[in-house]
Structure 1
Amino acid sequence: MSDYLIVDCALFRESLSAALDGEEGPLPEAEVDRHLRECGACRAWQEEAARLRRSMVRQAPAVPDLTAAILATAPSPVREKWAARIALAIVGLVQSGLAFAEFLEPGAEHAGHGGGLSVIHLSNESAAWNLALGIGLLWAALHPRAAGAQLPLFGGFALVLGVVSVADVSGGQVGAGRLLTHVFLVIGLVLMFVVHREHRRRPAPAPSTADALGTGDDDLQLPEQGQPAPPAAIRHRFPRRPASRHRAA
């Protein structure tokens, strides 16, 4: 009896299965071929395994190359505009610097109004508000998407401040030096609006890319596309307890 007959056919069939998958089996190929010539059961098993593999492996549907069409319809890259953002950041730093200067000399701007401690608190409150405005300008310069959300706040504050400033100038209650500090707020508001507009003008990908390329749903047919998808299993967040329990008799 030859040596290959001593070995169980399962080992040869393992080598045949590995060969069908393009892998290397546990036995040499020459020994497997010699066994196939003399073992009809293994030859039948190999033919059945090959037939089953061909029935399970399906050819992928042909998909057209859309690279050129996508590149043709894609928007050209837009160069980032940094001038307005840099100017807005500078204005934010200046606004924050004015607030810190007011913190270092509390009550200097309101010295002529009297009031002692209340004037100092009023000055600190004004400095805190100016510092918050400076931080808001810096944040809009770093994150242009947030500029639009801050425009109503800055615009409303500038409007009310302008009306109050006109009334104070008419009554002689504020000097020209104090009014000049409000110029940076107006400049920052204008720059914030510019940054917001530039951010909105950046192109976004079109939602109907398939329609623009002329590749609708009728062009690509996947196998078994008309069959309805199986319903998804309902998953509960918490395990459900049985409705009732019965004791065994």
Structure 2
Amino acid sequence: MNCSDLRESLSARVDGEQPEVADDVLDRHLAGCPDCRAWQERATALRRLTLVREAPRVPDLTARILAEVPAPRPQQWRLRVALGLVALVQSGLGLAELLGADVGHAAHGSLAAAVHLGNESAAWNVAVGIGLLWAALRPAAAAGLLPALGGFVLVLGLVSGIDLSTGQVAVDRVASHGLVVAGVALLFAVRRQHARHPAPPLADRVPAGDETGLGAAPSDAGTPSPGRPQRRGFPQRPTGRRAA
């Protein structure tokens, strides 16, 4: 076999195609033929020149861009400090109630206080249910609900144990809190699953088989192409709103 036939296979191998001559035969020939080695080097260099080009030179606009971009605003702490103060006062009121202090719930008599406390408990139960439902629909919200509901279950467990030991509450009443305990446990599981495998929002999802995200291309006649299922294209959000 002469060099010209081997060079056709060398050209195919340089282009990433399957050569007609086996690789071991080509390697043995290259080891003993300097002309073919030089030819392969030139062919590889030529292919690289056709694929890789030098980027065009552009002016450096870094200083101009930074000069025109407004400076970032300093972080505002007033609202966060106010929120923290409200949180401390609210926690203090709850702690005072647990210690038996009068914080105003019994100001209108024992019956009115009992009715009001029942309404507060009902409102809290509704809020817990809404929060758990929101976390089921938006798993990313589970992280924000865990501190509040987790702290509630922890304190509830402590006071329920004390009430059981002193005989102030029946076992069936304490057992009714098992639903919120199960909800917090599922909330933690949903948070953990979302942290390990975050799913993109529905608007960012692309149908299977459509890597471009543009949906199925219509046929020339405007009717579905035979043998190709129609796929729905989802609108794409800007990259700045995509989760990593």
TM-score by length of 2: 0.36
Which has the larger Rg? 1
